[in-house]
Amino acid sequence: MQSLPDSTHRLIEEFSRLPGIGRKTAQRLAFHLLKSEKDTAHRLSDAMIDMKEKVQECSICCGITEDDPCFICTDNKRNDSLLCVVESAPDIYAFEKTNSFSGKYHVLGGALSPLDGIGPDELNFDKLITRMKSGMELVIATNPSVEGETTALYLAKILGEKNIKVTRLARGLPVGGNLEYTDEATLIRALEGRTSL
Amino acid sequence: MQSLPDSTHRLIEEFSRLPGIGRKTAQRLAFHLLKSEKDTAHRLSDAMIDMKEKVQECSICCGITEDDPCFICTDNKRNDSLLCVVESAPDIYAFEKTNSFSGKYHVLGGALSPLDGIGPDELNFDKLITRMKSGMELVIATNPSVEGETTALYLAKILGEKNIKVTRLARGLPVGGNLEYTDEATLIRALEGRTSL
C-alpha cells in the first residue's frame, strides 16, 4: 500500500483505529471520502470536533450532555426517588428509547474489575451515595457480565444497610430468542426467575 | 434518540452516511470518540481534511496522487508499452499489492452504463486514446460485471482497429474458492478458458 498517497494512507490508519473498523473497511471509507464532495469530509470532520468541544459530563448523573446539568436531571416530571444505575452513558439511551422508565439515571463510568485495576475509587460511587436518600429505589442495570454482577452485588451491600430498596433488572430469555440456542447460564436464570401466569 | 446531545446526534447522522456504516455502528463510533482523548477526534478530523486538500487526479493516468503526475506515471523503470485499464483508482492498489505488474495504469472513472446516463463522454476514454501508441498492449481490467464487460467490449472495438493488442484479465475460479458454491456464470467462464496442464 506504499503506492497510496501519504495523506490517504494516514486517513486509512486513523479509520482502522476505530472499533469494528478493519483495514478493508477503513480503505473503503477513505476512498468513499476521496470520491465524494469536499463538503462531505468537512461536515463529518466538523461534527466530530463540535461534539468533542460541546459534550461534557453531567455533574449530577455523570451522563453526557451539552448543558450541565443534563435535561434528564433537571426534568421535574421525572420520579426523583427512582434511580437507575448504568455502567456507561450510552446505556441511558437504550432505556430512553423504551419510553418506559420515568426515574433518573446514574452513570458509574464502568464496572468493578480488580484485575484491570478498576476498584470503587475509579467509579462514580461517591456521587451516587450523595444522591441516595432514605425511601428511594435503586434499579441496578449493570451489564450481565462478571464485572457487572460484581458491581451490582457491591452496590447492594453498601446501600442495603440504609433504608434504600435495591432492585436489579430481570435476567431470562431475550424476546425473540430461541430456547435451543440459549446458553445454560441464561436458562438457569430464566428458571430461577420464573413467574406465575 | 432525542435524548442524545445534539452534537452527538449530528455525528451519528454523519457517520451513518458512510458506506457500510449502519445506525448502530455509527452510534458505537460516536460513543468511542466521546470516551477517547480529544486528540483522537482531532487526528481523524485532520487526516480527513488533509487528504481532501492534498489528493488530486493525476493528469496522465487519472489515478489519485499528491504530486501531479503521479509516481507511477513518472517511473522510468516501468514498461511504457503495457497499459492496464481499470474502472477506479483503488483498483490500481489492488494490482500494486501483487507486485506482478510492471506496466502503467489508466483509470476510466467508472464503467459504461447507459441506464445510469454514463456514456463514453463521461469516462476518461479521450485521455486513454491519446496515450495509446502503435505496438502497445492494453490490459482491460474492468470489473467482471455487466457494465465492466460492456466497457471492455467497447474498448476492444475502438482500439482493435489500430495496431494495438487488447487483452483482458482471465475469468475463472477464484483461488481458495469452492467449486460447490461457484455460480454458473463463473463455471462457464472457467470451462471456456481451461488451459492445458
Q: Determine the CATH number of domain A64-168.
A: 3.40.1360.10
Answer whether A20 sits within 8 Å of B28, measured CB to CB.
Answer: yes
Point out the residue among B31, B52, B72 whose CB comes nearest to the CB of A3. B72
Q: What is the mean pLDDT of chain A?
A: 90
For residue range A12-25, list pLDDT tens digits in order: 999 999 999 999 99
Q: Between A and B, how many residue pairs show a Cβ–Cβ distance under 8 A?
A: 158
Asked if B30 is an interface residue toward chain A (Cβ–Cβ < 8 A), one would say: yes
Answer yes or no: is pLDDT of A1 > 70: no
pLDDT bucket at A191, cuts 50 / 70 / 90? confident
Point out the residue among B14, B21, B66 whose CB comes nearest to the CB of A47. B14
Average the pLDDT over each of A72-81, B59-68, B139-148, B182-191 and give the range with the smallest value. B182-191
Q: Give me the amino acid identity at A182.
A: T
Q: What is the per-residue pLDDT for A70?
A: 92
Q: What is the per-residue pLDDT for A61?
A: 94
For residue range B94-117, list pLDDT tens digits in order: 899 888 999 999 999 999 998 999
Q: Are A54 and B47 in contact (CB under 8 A)?
A: no
Answer yes or no: is pLDDT of B1 > 60: no
Provide the CB-side half-sphere exposure for B135 (13 A, CA): 3
User: A interface mutation test: which of B28, B51, B87 has the most A CBs within 10 A?
Assistant: B51
Cα–chain-centroid distance for residue B37? 34
Question: With contacts defined as CB-CB under 8 Å, which chain A residues touch B88?
Answer: 31, 35
Asked if A55 is an interface residue toward chain B (Cβ–Cβ < 8 A), one would say: yes
Q: What is the per-residue pLDDT for B191?
A: 87
User: B interface mutation test: which of A9, A11, A16, A36 has the most B CBs within 10 A?
Assistant: A11
For residue range B139-176, list pLDDT tens digits in order: 999 998 999 999 999 998 888 777 889 998 988 888 88
User: CA of A19: which chain B residue's CA is closest?
Assistant: B29
Give the distance from residue B24's alpha carbon to the nearest chain A alpha carbon, in angstroms: 11
Give the distance from residue B192's alpha carbon to the nearest chain A alpha carbon, in angstroms: 32
Q: What is the residue whose three cell numbers read 510492471?
A: B102
Closest-CA residue to A87 (of A189, A137, A20, A155)? A155
Query: What ranges do the domains of chain A cover?
Result: 6-54, 64-168
Spatial separation of the C-alpha atoms in residues B79 and B65, rounded to whole Å: 20
Point out the residue among B19, B38, B97 whose CB comes nearest to the CB of A52. B38
Highest mean pLDDT among A163-177, B17-31, B151-165: B17-31
Point out the residue among A5, A90, A93 whose CB comes nearest to the CB of B55. A5
Q: Determine the CATH number of domain B77-168.
A: 3.40.1360.10
Residue A87 phi, psi dihedral angles, 5° rounding? -75, -45
Closest-CA residue to B13 (of A51, A11, A129, A91)? A51
- Cα torsion B20, B26, B30, B33 to 10°: value is -30
Q: What is the residue whose three cell numbers read 460516536?
A: B30
Q: What is the per-residue pLDDT for A2?
A: 62
Give the distance from residue B97's alpha carbon to the nearest chain A alpha carbon, in angstroms: 6
Supply the ipTM of this predicted assembly. Answer: 0.80
- Which CATH architecture best describes the domain A6-54? Orthogonal Bundle (1.10)
